[in-house]
Amino acid sequence: MFDELSSRFEDAVKGLRGEAKISENNINDALKEVKRALLDADVSLSVVKEFISDVKDKAIGEEVVRGVNPGQKFIEVVNKELINIMGNENSPLNENENSPTVILMAGLQGAGKTTATGKLGLYLKEKDKKVLLVAADIYRPAAVEQLKTLGSQYELEVFSAKEKNSKPEEIAKEALNFARENDFNSIIIDTAGRLQIDDSMMSEMVRIKEVSNPDEVLLVVDSMIGQEAADLTKSFHEKVGITGAILTKLDGDSRGGAALSIRKISGKPIKFIGVGEKIEALQPFHPERMASRILGMGDVLTLVEKAQKEVELADAEAMQKKLQEATFDFNDFVKQMRLIKRMGSLGGLIKLIPGMNKIDDGMIKDGEDQLKKIESMISSMTLEEKQKPEVLAAHPSRRQRIAQGSGYEAKDVDKVLADFQRMRGFMKQMSNGGMPGMGGMPGMGGMPGMGGMPAMPGMGGMSGNKPMKKQKNNKKKKGFADL
């Protein structure tokens, strides 16, 4: 997400290094590069023009104080303006205190509306809401079954038409009565999508809205359609009246322009973003965090929230104690690997860490493959071997058996064991320096920029035993976070 845009922004700042202050002469090239980068990312032209004008007005004449170079000052201005065009702060869902909160989902076909409905239901369930999903899409084949499948997967009740020829507004009305009678406090209505906006679609949405009187009307928008997403949001709002948007597929090949255009063009906030297929991949939208990701500065708050969601305090304390006492074993290591998987993809997590946005997908793929390899080896160990790694160190025949059982060579097992022992010793010394609440996150070290943490066993510094390519002249290439 935003990798190309981050790289282009970084290039734009290079010409400002060494200047005494930001002036019209030295900022023009940087602004031109930023403008091209935003347009290539499919940001709306009107938004780009306004953004560039605001950055220029606020950056020119900024004096460079000691310890802060013009590039850093320029980034500070860009960061503030990015946050500004995306809405300044998170816009939470509107809630009805006196009756069930009703959320109406709208969007074009193929945007991921039904999937977003299920994920939003789970999001509310995790906030202790009793959620009812309503299947009011009567046109798309299998739409009702898809929602029922999601409901079953997330353990959410789904309401569907009792009569074969029921109209969507009738289904919505019946669902509201059912929800009130059965003490549901959150209702999410999945409506039909179309291949394009038409009068029939809008009229139907208006009728459903009149019947359900929703607290939220959320437009689900596919980020892959680029700047058209902003125009679509504006059109829906003018014809139906929406309260916000959910931007899906932001983890794909989209260039991210929709995230920067929707609020400015439509006047309505992005409330959630979809960043993957997993259940937890629907996230509340925070403009300041998104700006930080765009500028290559990571998103530590989201990373910590993911950790807190998955890690129980008692488990974290127990893991911390094991690390301090160097009794951390292979069973614990597998738990930590599975924790990382629950938090999301390895690549997605790594790129939330400041300064880590330059790790390429090939290295991440190598790391993920190596994790699978290690887990396979651990699965071939006996209970005693998992609990007492030193037993393996003393018996080559055991290591040979594990290699045969997991389909790898003995030297691979030897390396994993040696790396594990080194990591365990290091973690004993550094156990108080890990990620808060995550017991030191064993195995997350060895990645560039992590302050010398050791590699995950057998991972060779997140590169699958391949050394990282050296930058020209042996200089570390700086990202925005390093300037």
What is the pLDDT at residue 428?
66
Placement of tokens 């906006």 in the chain: 197
pTM score: 0.66
Residue 251 annotated as binding site: yes
Kindly state whether residue 94 falls inside one of the protein's structural domains: no
Residue 179 annotated as binding site: no
Q: Determine the Cα–Cα distance for residues 317 and 417; give it in Å rounded to an integer.
A: 25
Helix, strand, or coil here: 265?
helix
User: Token pair of 181, please?
Assistant: 């009678």
Q: Determine the Cα–Cα distance for residues 257 and 266; give it in Å rounded to an integer.
A: 14
Identify whether residues 284 and 385 lie together within a single domain.
Answer: no
Kindly state whether residue 477 falls inside one of the protein's structural domains: no
What is the pLDDT at residue 93?
94
Q: Determine the Cα–Cα distance for residues 114 and 142; give it in Å rounded to an integer.
A: 11
Identify whether residues 330 and 289 lie together within a single domain.
Answer: no
What is the pLDDT at residue 304?
64
CA angle 130, 132, 136 (to 5 degrees): 165
What's the CATH number where 230 sits?
Answer: 3.40.50.300
Residue 113 annotated as binding site: yes
Residues in a beta bridge with 21: 63
Q: Determine the Cα–Cα distance for residues 380 and 368; give it in Å rounded to an integer.
A: 19
User: Token pair of 105, please?
Assistant: 């989902």
Identify whether residues 69 and 150 lie together within a single domain.
Answer: no
Q: What are the start-end ranges of the E strands in 227-345?
A: 244-248, 270-274, 282-284
What is the pLDDT at residue 261?
84
Identify whether residues 113 and 41 lie together within a single domain.
Answer: no
How many residues are recorded in the chain? 483
Kindly state whether residue 307 falls inside one of the protein's structural domains: yes
In 380-440, alpha helices (H): 383-387, 389-394, 396-406, 410-430
What is the pLDDT at residue 344?
65
Identify whether residues 273 and 315 lie together within a single domain.
Answer: no
Identify whether residues 420 and 336 lie together within a single domain.
Answer: yes
Domain boundary residue, one of 86, 117, 152: 86
Q: Determine the Cα–Cα distance for residues 291 and 289; give it in Å rounded to an integer.
A: 5
What's the CATH number where 463 sits?
Answer: 1.10.260.30
Kindly state whether residue 20 falls inside one of the protein's structural domains: yes
Residue 250 annotated as binding site: yes
Domain boundary residue, one of 297, 326, 360: 297
Kindly state whether residue 384 falls inside one of the protein's structural domains: yes
Residues in a beta bridge with 186: 101, 131
CA dihedral for 246, 250, 252, 255, sign (positive or negative)? positive
Residue 191 annotated as binding site: yes
Q: Determine the Cα–Cα distance for residues 144 and 128; give it in Å rounded to an integer.
A: 25
Q: Which domain holds residue 45?
A: 3-86
Identify whether residues 271 and 137 lie together within a single domain.
Answer: yes
Which residue, 457, 419, 243, is CA-closest to 336?
Answer: 457
Residue 458 annotated as binding site: no
What is the pLDDT at residue 458?
45
Residue 111 annotated as binding site: yes
What's the CATH number where 78 sits?
Answer: 1.20.120.140
Identify whether residues 19 and 70 lie together within a single domain.
Answer: yes
User: Token pair of 370, please?
Assistant: 């190596």
Residue 107 annotated as binding site: yes
Residue 449 annotated as binding site: no
Domain boundary residue, one of 297, 331, 358: 297
What is the pLDDT at residue 440?
40
Kindly state whether residue 482 falls inside one of the protein's structural domains: no
Q: How many domains does the chain have?
A: 3
Identify whether residues 140 and 69 lie together within a single domain.
Answer: no
Calculate the dihedral angle through the C-alpha atoms of 388, 390, 395, 397, rounding to the nearest 10 degrees: 50
pLDDT tens for the chain, 483 residues: list them.
566 777 777 777 776 666 666 777 778 888 888 888 888 888 888 889 999 998 888 887 655 555 456 777 778 888 888 898 888 888 999 999 888 999 999 988 888 899 999 999 999 999 999 999 999 998 887 889 999 999 999 999 999 988 788 899 999 999 999 999 999 999 999 998 877 777 888 889 999 999 999 999 999 988 888 778 778 888 888 888 899 999 988 776 556 677 888 888 888 899 999 877 776 678 899 888 888 877 766 555 666 666 666 666 556 667 667 766 667 888 888 887 777 777 666 666 766 665 565 666 677 778 778 888 888 999 999 999 998 888 898 899 999 999 999 999 999 999 888 888 887 777 766 655 544 444 444 344 433 333 333 344 544 444 333 434 444 444 433 343 343
Q: What are phi and psi of 271, to 5 degrees?
A: -100, -30
Identify whether residues 16 and 64 lie together within a single domain.
Answer: yes
